[in-house]
Structures are given as C-alpha cells and as structure tokens.
Amino acid sequence: MQNTWVGRQPARALLVLWLVAGVAAVAAVGATARTTSASTVDLKFQVWSYSIPTIQSNIKRFQTLYPGVKVNLSDTSWFDYHDVMATKFTGGSAPDIAYSSDHWLREWVAANWIAPLDKYFPQFKQYQKEWAPYAREGMTLDGHLYGLPYYADLIDFLYNADQVKQAGFNGAPKTWDDVRKISLALKQKNIVQYPLNIPLKKDDPWLIEIFYAMVYGNGGHMFDKNDNPVFNKPGSAAEKMLQWLQNARTKWKILDPAGPESAEPDVVKTMGGGHSTFTVLAKYNLAELNLGQHKEAGHFKLALMPGTTHSTVGFVRFYAMTANASKRGSDVTKSVGKFLQYFGGKTGGKYAVEKRWALEKGLGFANLPLYNDPQIKKAINKWGSVPLEQSQAKLAHVKEGLTPFWGVWDISAREQLDKAILGQESPRAALKNMADRWNQLKKQYKR
Amino acid sequence: MATSNAAAHRARVRPRRPGGRIAARLYAWGTLTPVLVFVALFTLFPFFYALVTSLHRYVLTIPGKPYVGLGNYRTALSDAMVHSSARTSLIFIAAAVPLVTVLGLGVAVLLNQRVKGFGILLVLVLLPWSVPTVSAGIMWRLLLHGDFGAIDGFLYRFHAIDSYVQWLSGSKLALMSVILVHAWREFPLPVILFLAGLQTIPPELTEAARLDRASAWQRFRWVTLPLLKAPLLIVLVYETIVAISVFDVVYVLTGGGPGSATTLYSWYTYTVTFKFLDLGMGAAMSFLMAAVLFVFILLYMRIVRLREAEA
Amino acid sequence: MSRRSWWHTALLALAGVVLALVILVPFGFAVSASLQTESQLIERPPPLVPPSPTIDNYRYVFTGQVPEAYKQRALLRGSVTQEARVLPKGLRNSFLVALGVVLVNLTFGTLASYTFARQRFRGKQAAFGFILASRLLPTMAVAIPIFEILRQLDLLDSKLGLVAIYSAFTLPFTIWVLTLYFRSLPPEMEEAARVDGCTRFGALRYVALPLAAPGLAAVGAFSFLFSYSEFLFALFTTSTTHAKTIPVMISAISVNPDASYTLVAVGIVMSIAAPVLFALVFRRYITSGLVASLTRR
C-alpha cells in the first residue's frame, strides 16, 4: 500500500504505448474522413433516435429508386431533439430535411427554419384530403403546408382488461369517476397497489399532451381561438382534471407515486409487469404492451378517453424541408421533393413508408385510407381494435395554443403540473403560474 | 538510467551556439505557442463571445439581437426560478460537500489501517470515479426506480419495507438520492488525497500518543486531524466547486424534477440556455455562477500556496 | 506497531466489506441485469441472481441476432431496440477521441510544461496564469460559442472536433501537473547535459522525459478518462454514429421506448468496462497524479 511513484522502466514502456496508441488513433480518425462525390445531390436528413436501421433501410430503397440522390442520416435523442435542432438551425448547420412535430411548427416557421412545401411542390396539396383533420392542422399554418406525415397518432386511454375484470367490473371506465371506483376496488382487493400510472418525469415531453387529452375528454379547452389561456379560469375543465389528479395521488392513492421518476418506457414496463392497470399514452404503446415481452401481454385494451365528450389529442410528426434546403438551388429542392414524396407521400399509388411504420412498429398514420388496407387491418387487430381506434380518431383534435413559444412554455407547464399533482401547489395556483408564464412569453415574443 | 541516457546520447551533442539567449526565447515560445493558441481559441474567444451575448437580448427563436446592457443580469437576479434554483444548489452543496468529505476521510482512515486484504479495496475505491457519470446515473436510476428498482426489490424481499419506496419522486427524497449518487461518484477523490496526507504522518507521533493512553478518537482528533488540515481544506473547496457546477447526474436521474425539487442552479442555467433558448439570459446566469466559482478558486489557490509554504 | 484486539480487527474488516459492497453492488447489478430478460427485471421483487443467465443481449448488440425471448412477435418493434446495435461504434468513437486527446496532451502539454518548469523568460507568468485561468470558465457559458467555432472549422459531428474541444479542456490540467512534476526533478543532470552541449529539446527528450514518465502516465490517464466520459459537448456537437461517443448513445437508448432495460444494462456494462479496466491498470499513476496536482508543492 505505498503511494510513491513507481519504477521508471515500466512507466517508460507505458509512455511508448501511449504514443503508439495516440498515433494510431489520429491515423484512424484521418482514415475515416468522409468522402463525397460531385455528381450526386447530397441531402442531410435529421431524425430523432428511433429505429435508425429501419430508416436506413428506407433510405436505401429510396436511393435505389433515385440513384442521383444521396441521403446522409443524423439522429438525436427525442428528449433533446428540440434543443439540439435549435442549436443546429441557428448555428448554421441545418439539415435539408428534418423530423418535426405539430408542437414546434409555429416556432420553426416564425424563426424561418422551415419552408412552405406548397410553394415548391404544389402537387403535395392533393394528399391533404386523405389526412386525418388533426394531422392536417398539425402540418398547416396560415394556409401553407409545411410537412408530409411521418406518423400521426392519438393519445389514448389504455387499460388492463384482465385486472379490471378481476376487480369485478365489466368493460372500460367511461368517466374519471369510473376510473376512481375501479381503482379503489383494485386496491382493496390487493390486485394492484397503484392502478393509474402516468409519466410525470420532468424531461419527458409527453406529459403536456396527456394532460391536454384529459382536458379534451371532459369537453374542456386549454386556449381560446386567439391563443389566450382558458385553463386558468376558476372551475375550468383543466382545473377540475388537475384537482382530480392531485386527489388521485394524495387522497385516494390510486396514482402511482413513482410517476415523477417515470418516462413513457417506464410506465409501459410497469403496466406490462402488471403493477398498474390504467394509463394515458400514445396509442402505439398498445402494440408494445400486447405483443412485447411482458407478463401481462395480451390483456391490454383501448378505451375512449374517459369524460363527457371522450375527445382526445391527435398529433402528427412530419418531414419538413428546411429553409436551408430551399436556398440550395433547384437541384436540391427537386431532390427534397422526391424524398418527401417517397417518405411521406405515395409511390406507385401506395404509402410505402408510412405503411411500413404501421406494420412493423405499430405507429399510427395520417392517411385514413390506409384503414381499408387488409394488411393494416389485420396487423392492428392483433394488438388493438380498428373500429375503436377509428371512433376515437374521429373525436381527436389538434393541440390548442400552438404558438411560436409553445415549446418553451411547455417546459414550465410540465413543472407546474408536476407540482400540483404532487400536492405542493393547489391546482389553481399551478394553472395561474402556467398562464402567467404564457403571458410573459407572449410579451417577450411580441417585441 | 537517466545518466546513462545522457551519456549515451552525448554523440548527438552540439557545441553551444552564440546568441543562445534568442534561441532560448524562440524555443520557449515555440513550445508554448501551440498550447496558447489552442487554449485561446477554445476559451478566450468563447469567453468574450459569451460576455457580449450576456449583454444582448438573444433568444434563438426571436429574430433580432438588441443590446440590453445589464438587463439580463437584472432579470436573472430578480427571477423567482433563479432564486429557488440557487437555494436548491445551496442545500445540495451544504449536504454534498460535508458528506463527500466525511466519507472520504472515513474511508481513508479505514484504508490506512493495516488489515490483510485492504490492498484490494484501494484498487476498488477508484472505480465509481472512473466511469462516465451518464453510465453511473442510468445505472442508479435502474437501481432506485420506485416501480421496479433493484434496491426496493431487495428491501422488499427481506421485508424491510412493505411497499416500494419512490426514491426519486418525493421532493426531499429525490434531492437526497441525487446527493447520494453524487457522493458515490465523488468520494474516491478525497479518499486518495486524505490517504496521501495520512501516509506522511510519522507513525511515531500516533504511537507516542498511544503510550500517553490517548483514546483512538483523541489520537485522531488531536494528532491526525491537525496534520490533515491542508488536504481537508483542499477537499472542501474542490468539492464545492464540483458541487456548484454538477450537471450530468441531474440530467440522467431526474431531469430537475419532481416539480423543481432537483433543479440546481447549473441545471436551470442549462434549461434557460438550451430549452428556453434564451442565450443572453443563460450567459448572464453562467457569469454569475462563474463569479461565485471564482471566489472559491481564489480560495483554493491560496490554500494550495499555503501548503507550498508549509512544505 | 502494537497488536489490535481481535474485535477491533473484525470491526475494521466489516467496515471494509461494507465499503466493497457499496462500490461493487451497483456494478454487479448492471452486469446481472444485462444477463437476463426484461420481464424478470420488472418482477416484484426481481430475482437476486439471474435464474437462467444468458448472453443473448450481448450477442444481439454485436451480431444482430434477436434474443430467443423476444422472437414470438407479430411486430418488429418492442424491447430489442435496433439502436443498441450501434453501441460498438460509440465505443470505438469514444476510444479514438480519448486516445487523440491523450496524444495532444502528451506532445504539446509536455513541451509547454518543460518550458514552464525550466526556463526563465519574460511573459512566462502571464502565459502560465492564462492557461490555468482558462479552467475557470463554466462550460455552459462557452458551449454555444464553441459550437460556432467547430462549425467555422467544419468540425461539427467529427471526432477531430471532439479531440480539439477536449484537448483545450484537459491541457491546462496537464500543464499544471507536468510543470510541477518537472520542477520536482533535480535539475543537475539536465544542466550537466546542457553544459555538454545538449539542446533544450535534447535535455527534455533524453534526461527529463524518462524521469517524468510516471507523471506523463498520470496526465494521460486523466485526459483519457475525461474525454471518454464527457457528455454535454458530445451531445451538442455530434449527430451521427460517425462521431457520437458512448455516453451520448446510451443516454439516448435509455429513453428509447423500444429499449429493454436489459439492453440498457448491456450499454452500461459496455461503457464502463473500459474505464474500469483503465482505472485498475493505471491506479498508481492516477493516485499519485491526483495527489501531486491538487496538493503538492
């Protein structure tokens, strides 16, 4: 146990080792330097890190179809996507095509990061009539179209039908009070300790959409037509829902207290393990719950969003052409058009890529005619229900209040929702703080 | 070996040229320039860039970049979230620094005992510090999670708890968990410093105290501890600096939640910069943090110099 | 040294065992989790030891062969995220970047430190102070401008860009430690060599360097561990598997809805294996380097 410098001989050998290794490293770095050829059009395509190999295989198919275009793929974690993209756009390293989302459409348009597609590719307008309304609205701003769909989905109420039956109930809960009753029974019969499970982790972007969906389900609104908050009105649907969630956590103890440390995957795994019964999540999770490797796999069902109107949030994630690409000349924009056509539109009369996502990953789609595809029907019915999905889709709406600063407001809003649910703040105070922040941002962005 | 080396290479030796002074200066600056250029490029330029940014209203998603003087600093100093995150940081520092120090001292004293097999512990003690914080954090999240965490599983299996505990979901518990994970990663460094200090204490000193029938605590308190003053001060200041700027642990463990329970000042600076995209305010907050850091670093330098004088 | 009573020794041994457990159990858990299927991990309570350990998860990462347990599926999605397959690339990137940084530190750092330690010239204090003071900058403040610099140099999303950033961050520390180290060496031999006509570089190369080898190993180890683990800059400046380092990759995988936690555990094990081995091999240098840098002289 001595702490002295060791002998010189081995140290010297190590030093040589260091140098050799270092030279090798630099050589390797040099050797892997990228090469580009001049004759093809290079497109930079930016996505969030989900199923990269599938995307790459789609790219490969696209490049076989259009040999003159080369697509270079980059990806960033979904949690950091908004932040990293902002850095790229303003830092001058914008891609040509990027995933975007209805959340950010206004922000990206206002900052002049993405270009209106209808200006360059008027033919894309024809797709609009086949899209679900929430998807169309999510990609349209001031009459201009800004994207073609990557996928579109719903925030849905999912439950473990087996456990509900064990608790002595038939069928899905219709209101949040039903959820409370069944949950208390589940608790009492020792089937599940905390039946309701919602991801409340602060950095998980889903919470705000889930809360919107719960408010919509009761016929409520978050913002009025002029993007002024209405959630903060005393007695609003939002306040009632938030109060219900606070009670669920602190009074009835039916809401999983681990929510604040759970992101979407944590909730899915906990549900799959049979430790929770109800959740509100994007629909594609139902595919994972029923077909994935879970103890309770096969027991999960979709139900209309509890409440009075059973309305919910429909959302869309889409491919956008960046302003950067539109400035690179007609060769590039033409290639972007081909890309968008292949990835978000029809090729040979078929939605090739969107269908693939639906079949292989269970992602929802914007193009409603796909529901008539027997392959799709069969695939969805393996883990869900086409009729139920369709009736919920009819009740779905785009998120309200999507202003350029919505994404920034969302960060503070999630924090306030967390505090109210944990019982650190009254729902009214939390909603007031959310509204204050909204108005502060509104002022800041007006300047 | 060195001598023989020098002798062996005497063949290469050249007679000294006149004008060696200029050559010396050339050599000196020749060796320094690459480093200076490098460091200047990646610190001096960014420093002034950030300083200028902090004096402008610069929000990435709002066009325009008007000069606002000290406006961002004023906003930061009056912002409620800045206050609350500074408070959380203070609690974090007040808990983490003593914890890491005491832990480090305790383990160092333990490892300084001559017990068979302790050699292996000395090897192990570095491990938490050597792995990426991100990996350690994700590992701890899987251990602590309130729905399926291994720690809860273990306690539950042996009936130490009736139901799973949410280590990262209660406001106080979450901050405590973050502090503990931080301490787990940070304690090896103080151990090494204290151990080095302990080994410079001549055994005769403690032996003499023992003969005077001093208890183990008395020997530690009156003989060992005074001699560890310098490493102790260094550990305290160094760990404070680390605690002020901690980031990765929060990123992977809690994301600053629940609510704002683990939103430390450094984390809030990150949020303002990269999530609110308010670069002006973020830069102002960074400089406020730098001012505090600077005080501690000056303190640190003084202590190190003090130690130099003692040696 | 006088004899300890047996219970005293037992107490110490107990404390030692507790310490070893606190250090090793988290690592042990990660290894154990990487050898199971996810449904076992989610059980309440999970098994203490994997009932039927399997290396399927590792095989998947390296060969793409989907583990048996996940095969009965109609969809391709689910607990075997394809992103895990790129982990080996991240590991390689982390390694290359870290070695590049080590190389920069050992060459330029050594040259500069020796000059600082042995030569007297005007501007020396200022230069030394400048290099050390550059450590004071909070990284958060310089993140955006550094992004800007990399873009100008066309080094975004490249290993070389990371090497540059990390070198700038590690060089001050390296120079501090090595300057102290060179100063602690007896100057007589170098002086003798100089009198004999040896150049300054010659004195460094043939006399001082061999003596300072342990110090070099220490700063090498530090710059390696720092560069291997750094997260914030790697997150913001890299965007493809061409340059993404392992911390960036596993942090993304850990929030991927398709990632089973057993695969996340594989990621953790893969990312900590190298630094753990490294810490074991270079323990002495790291230890003495730390002591020297933070307290000595």
Q: In angstroms, what separates the C-alpha of B264 from chain C's closest C-alpha?
A: 14
How does pLDDT run across A130-175, given as a tens digit for each residue? 999 999 999 999 999 999 999 999 999 999 999 999 999 998 999 9
Question: According to the per-residue pLDDT averaged within each range, which of A198-212, A242-256, B49-63 is highest?
Answer: A242-256
Split at pLDDT 50, 70, 90, the class of B2 is very low
Query: What part of C 39-58 touches A (C-beta under 8 Å)?
Result: 39, 42-44
Task: Tell me the percentage of chain B whose pLDDT exceeds 90.
Answer: 51
Task: Tell me the percentage of chain A whose pLDDT exceeds 90.
Answer: 77
Q: Is A193 on the interface with B (CB under 8 A)?
A: yes
> Which residues on A lie below 8 Å from B1 (Cβ)?
8-9
Q: Judge contact between C217 and A14, C-beta under 8 A.
A: yes
What is the model's pLDDT at position A315?
96
Question: Using the beta-carbon criterion (under 8 Å), do C75 and A26 form an inter-chain contact?
Answer: no
Q: Judge contact between B111 and B195, C-beta under 8 A.
A: yes
Average pLDDT over chain A, rounded to an integer:
90
Q: Once rounded to an integer, what is the mean pLDDT over residues C95-100?
A: 96
Judge whether residue C297 has pLDDT over 70: no
Residue in chain A nearest C67 by alpha carbon? A293
Q: Given B60, B122, B147, which is nearest A270 (Cβ)?
A: B147
Q: Once rounded to an integer, what is the mean pLDDT over residues C50-67?
A: 85
What are the structure tokens assigned to A16, written together? Answer: 């040589």
Q: Given C74, C82, C160, which is nearest A29 (Cβ)?
A: C160
Q: Which carries the bigger pLDDT value, residue B6 or residue A24?
A: A24
Split at pLDDT 50, 70, 90, the class of B107 is very high
Q: Is A447 on the interface with B (CB under 8 A)?
A: yes
What are the angstrom distances between the C-alpha of A166 and each of A171, A190, A295, B143, C98?
11, 10, 16, 31, 56
Residue in chain C nearest A4 by alpha carbon? C288
Q: Which carries the bigger pLDDT value, residue B232 or residue A310?
A: A310
What is the model's pLDDT at position A36?
46
Q: Judge contact between B137 and B253, C-beta under 8 A.
A: yes
Amino acid at C262: T
What is the model's pLDDT at position A268?
94
Query: What part of C 146-205 touches A (C-beta under 8 Å)?
Result: 147-148, 151, 156-157, 159-160, 163
Interface test with B, best of C4, C19, C107 (most B CBs within 10 A): C19
Q: Once rounded to an integer, what is the mean pLDDT over residues A296-304?
A: 96
Judge whether residue A336 has pLDDT over 50: yes
Question: Using the beta-carbon criterion (under 8 Å), do C151 and A91 form an inter-chain contact?
Answer: yes
How does pLDDT run across C192-233, given as a tens digit for each residue? 888 888 888 888 888 888 888 888 988 998 899 999 999 999
Half-sphere exposure of C40 toward its Cβ, with a 13 Å CA cutoff? 16
DSSP secondary-structure letter at C166?
H
Judge whether residue A337 has pLDDT over 60: yes
> Rounded distance, CA A92 to CA A279, Å?
41
Question: Using the beta-carbon criterion (under 8 Å), do A111 and B60 form an inter-chain contact?
Answer: yes
Judge whether residue C273 has pLDDT over 90: yes
List residues in chain B touching A: CB distance below 8 A.
1, 57, 59-64, 111, 114, 118-119, 122, 141, 144-148, 163-164, 166-171, 174, 195-196, 199, 254-260, 271, 274-277
> Rounded distance, CA A209 to CA A159, Å?
18
What is the model's pLDDT at position A442?
94
Residue in chain C nearest A74 by alpha carbon? C240
Judge whether residue A383 has pLDDT over 80: yes
> Rounded distance, CA C140 to CA C144, Å?
8
Question: Using the beta-carbon criterion (under 8 Å), do A418 and B122 form an inter-chain contact?
Answer: no
Q: Among A276-280, B84-88, C70-74, C224-228, name the one with the lowest average pLDDT.
A: C70-74
Split at pLDDT 50, 70, 90, the class of B10 is very low
What is the model's pLDDT at position A69?
95
What is the model's pLDDT at position A299?
96
How does pLDDT run across A84-134, given as a tens digit for each residue? 898 888 878 899 999 999 989 998 998 899 999 999 999 999 999 999 999
| 3-state secondary structure (DSSP) of residue B34 | helix
What are the structure tokens assigned to A173, written together? Answer: 């809960």
> Which residues on B lie below 8 Å from C33 (Cβ)?
142, 150
What is the model's pLDDT at position B308?
57
Average pLDDT over chain B, rounded to an integer:
86
Split at pLDDT 50, 70, 90, the class of C239 is confident
Q: In angstroms, what separates the C-alpha of B54 from chain C's closest C-alpha?
A: 9
Q: Judge contact between A403 and A106, C-beta under 8 A.
A: yes
Q: Among A336-345, B237-246, C270-279, name the one with the lowest average pLDDT.
A: B237-246
> Rounded distance, CA C216 to CA C107, Å?
10
What is the model's pLDDT at position A34?
45
Split at pLDDT 50, 70, 90, the class of A24 is low
Radius of gyration, alpha carbons of chain C = 24
Q: Which carries the bigger pLDDT value, residue A308 or residue B7?
A: A308
Q: Given C27, C41, C171, which is nearest B35 (Cβ)?
A: C171
Report the candidate in C281, C108, C201 with the shortest Cα–Cα distance to residue A14.
C281
